[in-house]
Chains A and B, each alone.
Chain A
Amino acid sequence: MTRMRLILPAVCAALLSFAATGTALRAHHSNSAYDTAKTITIKGTVAKWQLMNPHSGLWIEVKTEQGATEVWAGEFTGTLDLYRKFSWNRGTFKPGDQITLIGNPARDGATSLMARKVVFADGKEVDLAGT
């Protein structure tokens, strides 16, 4: 229940927005590990950023209401697409950064998601559509 409250179920607007583009996103990559019919939102603190191929990873620590810490892994596309589209590099995320990740959850219930949108601490949003 705690997790359910922390991991906000996608609002209709978000669902509609992602449903429109979800199937085309990362068409080169099998999304079979993630449920593209669902969208969740994760807010937390960056623990680690692995910019690499074929997929990059961002680990975020999420505090539960009981004070425990859950670590969520966000999966992104590889280095070249992130660099070419957004000028992201190894310094884009630093431990301690406050980040919101929106994406498709793992089918197996693991604390991981395929990232679709990032909201930085300053409110800047990056839509990962087409990566």
Chain B
Amino acid sequence: MPARSALLCCAALLCLASAAAAQTAPRPDFSGIWQKSGGGPGLSPQEPPMSAWGREKFNAARPIHGPRTVSPTESTAAEMKCLPMGVPGVYFRPRAFEIVQLPTRTLMLFEIDHLWREIHMDGRKFPEVPLETWMGYSIGRYEGDTLVVETRHFIGWEENAHRWVDRLGHPFSGELKVTERFRRVNANTLENQITIDDATAYSKPWTATMTYARKEAGFEIGEFVCNELMLSELPFNTLKK
């Protein structure tokens, strides 16, 4: 009997140890403050495969960056209204963001607008009845050294709120599904392979890669409220038009 008890005890300890190990398995570390590095105002160096709908919206776009640049007051860019650009548009704002990894959530804290993004890491599914939002609903998981994030349920295109995946005017609809694959290239470089799947705006899914550089030591996320523009008396106040 004592031998049997000892065996049971060992088995129980092994079970506990393996459960603890599973919970504390090393996860890739993406924590830190990052900002888009390199690349231009477009998500892809190649022209995305736009649908007829996408082409129509693209042609109507009036960006403030790239070869079709217009003046701020003529622009239809959401950022000129200080509206959140969504994902991946938010990365194009020239401001840093911090990644905070928690056991069941990954948070992205964007300096622009003090905006945050919550990525659920608890194994949940997308809600059956979603609430469409500017930044969408995000679910993430780790695959080896990669953080995979799927985001859906964005507020899509509206005539008075043009929605673009970049700063060149490539549109997206409420059908947009974004898959991001974050991977650390080295200690100070983060790579994000982004797949745009939007059957309304594009004839097929397409993928592009963004790179983020770690901000210098001591850098802290600050407050940047774009909407202060409402108070500005500058001549190019695009919220006053």
Residues of A within 8 A of B (CB): 27-30, 32-33, 48, 50, 52-55, 57, 59, 73, 75, 78-80, 83-84, 106-107, 110, 112
Cβ A53 vs Cβ B228 within 8 A: yes
B193 at the interface (CB under 8 A from A): no
Question: What residues of chain B lie closer than 8 Å to A59, measured between beta carbons?
Answer: 233
- Is B232 interfacial (CB 8 A cutoff)? yes
Q: Are A53 and B94 in contact (CB under 8 A)?
A: no
A78–B236 touching, CB < 8 Å: no
Is residue B130 within 8 Å, beta carbon to beta carbon, of the partner chain?
no
Report the number of A-B residue pairs with Cβ-Cβ less than 8 Å. Answer: 67
Question: How many residues of chain B get a CB closer than 8 Å to chain A's CBs?
Answer: 26
Other than the given A75-B236, A80-B223, 4 more pairs (CB < 8 A) read: A32-B70, A33-B236, A53-B226, A106-B235
Q: How far is the CB of B71 from chain A (nearest CB, A)?
A: 5
Measured in the bound complex, the distance between the Cα atoms of B64 and A3 in whole Å is 30
Which residues of chain A are near B69, meaning CB under 8 Å? 30, 32
Task: Give the 7 A-B residue pairs with the shortest CB-CB distance, closest first.
Answer: A28-B94, A30-B64, A52-B228, A57-B234, A80-B222, A53-B228, A32-B69
B71 proximity list for chain A (CB < 8 A): 30, 32-33, 107
Tell me the bound Cα distance from A104 to B65 in angstroms.
18
- Measured between beta carbons, the chain B residues less than 8 angstroms from A57 are 232-234
For A52, A75, A107, the residue with the greatest tally of chain B CB atoms inside 10 Å of its CB is A52
Report yes or no: B224 in contact with A80, Cβ–Cβ below 8 A: yes
A54 and B226 form a contact (CB under 8 A): yes
Q: A30-B64, A33-B71, A53-B229 are in contact. Are A79 and B224 (CB under 8 A)?
A: yes
Residue of A nearest to B221 (CB): A80
Residue of A nearest to B234 (CB): A57
CB contact under 8 A between A112 and B235, given known A30-B65, A54-B226: yes
- Chain A residues with Cβ below 8 Å from B6 are none
Contact with A52, one of B75, B94, B111, B232 (Cβ below 8 angstroms): B232
| B-side contacts of A75, CB under 8 Å | 234, 236
Residue pairs across A and B with Cβ atoms less than 8 A apart, 29 shown, are A27-B94, A28-B93, A28-B94, A30-B64, A30-B69, A30-B71, A32-B64, A50-B231, A50-B233, A52-B228, A52-B231, A53-B224, A53-B225, A53-B226, A54-B82, A54-B224, A54-B226, A54-B229, A57-B234, A59-B233, A73-B233, A75-B236, A79-B223, A80-B111, A80-B223, A84-B222, A106-B235, A110-B235, A112-B235
For residue B67, give the distance in angstroms from its CB to the closest CB of chain A: 12
Distance to closest chain B CB from A95 (angstroms) = 14
Chain B residue at minimum C-beta to C-beta distance from A50: B232
| B28 proximal to A (CB < 8 A) | no
Within 8 A of A (CB), among B208-233: 222-226, 228-229, 231-233
- Select A30's contact among B72, B93, B226, beta carbons within 8 Å: B72
Roughly how many angstroms separate A52 CA and B93 CA in the complex, as a whole number? 17
